[in-house]
């Protein structure tokens, strides 16, 4: 069974953005999604309080899970580690759409650690800022209603200038939107550029060693 799991987060991406990119990824990879779970109840909650999600993940065995990014599972490192451990122990396969990475219980440990470290870096950088909108947090934009059109044009290799002309909008405003949503990076993963090994190497390369 193939399941897509969507967890909207006020500091990251909403349901619509995640669904569009997961479905685009599934279409490109010719993956048939059998079930979809949108988790609306887990904002800032620890895994111990997310009873429905815990039951859902424990029910998976030998299945495939499509998620947008590591933070989709949880914003807590401890909970992410526990969820990884449970899912992989039960022979599940996890596709991380944004990174273009697929992991299972036979995956390179460094890839798994890289995914966890990416989340650690985001949380650490947010903590250093102390106040204000967290890094990655996305306010609403007039371009949100055009997200599907923008993604489709990016998939067709249209430049920001070309897309701006088609939509009749400011190139600089559109460029800021695309960069803030990291749409080019995500679309590159969705349309399957490169091999899984390349994506894994990129994830490992993002690991940040301690600084004295």
Residue 54 Rama label (left phi>0; alpha psi -120 to 50; beta): alpha
Please name which of 23, 72, 70 lies closest in space to residue 50, comparing C-alpha atoms: 72
Structure tokens at 133: 């909108």
Of residues 53 and 61, the one with the higher pLDDT is 61
Tell whether the model's pLDDT for residue 210 goes beyond 70. Answer: yes
Checking if the pLDDT of 68 tops 60, the result is yes
Residues 127-178 pLDDT 10s: 655 544 444 455 678 887 788 788 888 878 889 999 999 999 999 999 988 8
What was the pLDDT predicted at 43? 65
Q: Is the dihedral of CA 46, 50, 51, 54 positive or negative?
A: negative
CA dist 64 and 73 (Å) reads 14
pLDDT, average across residues 6-23:
82
* Average pLDDT for the chain: 83
How far apart CA 206 and CA 202 sit, in angstroms, is 7
What does each C-alpha distance from 137 to 57, 106, 170 come to in angstroms?
A: 27, 33, 23
Give yes or no for a contact between 189 and 25, defined as CB atoms under 8 angstroms apart. yes
Q: Report CA-CA distances (Å) from 144 to 12, 20, 120, 152, 188.
A: 14, 12, 28, 14, 19
Q: 35-38 and 93-96: which strand pairing? A: unpaired
Tens-digit pLDDT profile for residues 32-49: 999 988 887 766 788 888
Prediction pTM value:
0.72
Q: What is the pLDDT of residues 91-131, one digit of tens each?
A: 999 999 988 899 999 999 999 999 999 999 988 876 655 54
């Amino acid at each position: 069974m193939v399941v897509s799991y969507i967890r909207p987060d006020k500091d990251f991406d909403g349901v619509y953005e995640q669904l569009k990119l997961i479905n685009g990824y599934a279409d490109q990879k010719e993956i048939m999604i059998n079930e979809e779970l949108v988790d609306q109840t887990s904002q800032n909650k620890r895994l111990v309080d997310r009873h429905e999600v815990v039951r859902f993940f424990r029910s998976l065995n030998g299945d495939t899970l499509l998620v947008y990014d590591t933070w989709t599972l949880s914003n807590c490192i401890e909970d992410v580690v526990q969820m990884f451990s449970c899912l992989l122990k039960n022979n599940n396969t996890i596709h991380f759409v944004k990174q273009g990475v697929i992991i299972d219980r036979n995956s390179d440990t460094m890839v798994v650690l890289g995914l966890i470290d990416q989340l650690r870096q985001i949380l650490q950088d947010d903590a250093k800022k102390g106040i204000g909108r967290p890094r990655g947090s996305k306010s609403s934009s007039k371009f949100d209603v055009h997200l599907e059109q923008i993604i489709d044009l990016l998939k067709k290799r249209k430049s920001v200038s070309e897309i701006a002309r088609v939509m009749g909008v400011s190139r600089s405003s559109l460029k800021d939107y695309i960069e803030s949503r990291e749409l080019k990076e995500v679309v590159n993963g969705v349309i399957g550029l490169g091999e899984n090994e390349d994506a894994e190497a990129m994830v490992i390369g993002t690991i940040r060693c301690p600084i004295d």
